[in-house]
Amino acid sequence: MPPEHPTHRYFLWLTLLVIALALLGFGFGFSLLSFTPAPAPAVERYLEPPKPADYVSAQRGFQYFVSYTDNGFVPKKLTVKKGETVRFTNNSSTTFRLTVVGEAAQVSAKGEYFEYTFAKTGTFTYGDGTKKGIVTVK
């Protein structure tokens, strides 16, 4: 018999360890050695875009909408009934300070809104100090 090399035992133990791990993998259905793929992304459904009437029916807290843009208020004149609510929304690129009917000013950042219910008949102004609008309440 040829003489044993000093690393012969290490290779023998390493081989036995690899065989034991392979058998362990077979016993658990390759759960230790298999790769589980990521779940498939959800399929997006393309729906018809909403119509303006859909937005109106979804809104329950106000009857009229005034948008503040970089060019001013839209609409600038509005006629409402006594007891109806107007939502003033900041759609501009800056923060603005809204005053309605002499009430305390409301500061609104981009995308924020303020709702005001007109309890009296008459003509009222709203504005930001430089741009104005008029609400006629009947």
What CATH number is given to the structural domain containing 121?
Answer: 2.60.40.420
Per-residue pLDDT of the chain (138 residues; tens, 9 = 90+): 456 666 777 777 788 877 877 766 655 555 555 556 667 666 666 667 767 666 655 555 677 888 888 888 899 999 999 988 888 888 988 888 888 876 767 888 888 888 888 888 999 988 888 888 999 999
Q: Which residues of 85-99 are buried (b: 16+ CB within 10 A; e: fewer)?
A: ebbbbbebeeebebe
Nearest CA to 84 out of 136, 48, 8 is that of 136
Give the range of the structural domain holding residue 93, as residue numbers without chain letter.
Answer: 55-137
Residue 68 lies in a domain: yes
pLDDT at 114: 83
Helix (H) or strand (E) holding 137: strand 132-137
Q: Residue 80, SS3?
A: strand
Residue 17 lies in a domain: no
**How many C-beta atoms lie closer than 10 Å to residue 16's C-beta?**
10
Residue 49 CB contacts under 8 Å (≥ 6 apart), including other chains: none
Q: Residue 11, SS3?
A: helix
State which amino acid sits at residue 102.
G
Residue 109 lies in a domain: yes
pLDDT at 123: 92
Residue 1 lies in a domain: no
CA 117 to chain centroid, in Å, comes to 28
Residue 95 lies in a domain: yes
Nearest CA to 116 out of 102, 95, 131 is that of 102
Residue 108 lies in a domain: yes
pLDDT at 77: 93
pLDDT at 108: 82
Residue 3 lies in a domain: no
Q: How many domains does the chain have?
A: 1
Residue 66 lies in a domain: yes
Q: Around 134, how many Cα atoms within 13 Å sit in the side-chain half-sphere? A: 4
pTM for the full model?
A: 0.54
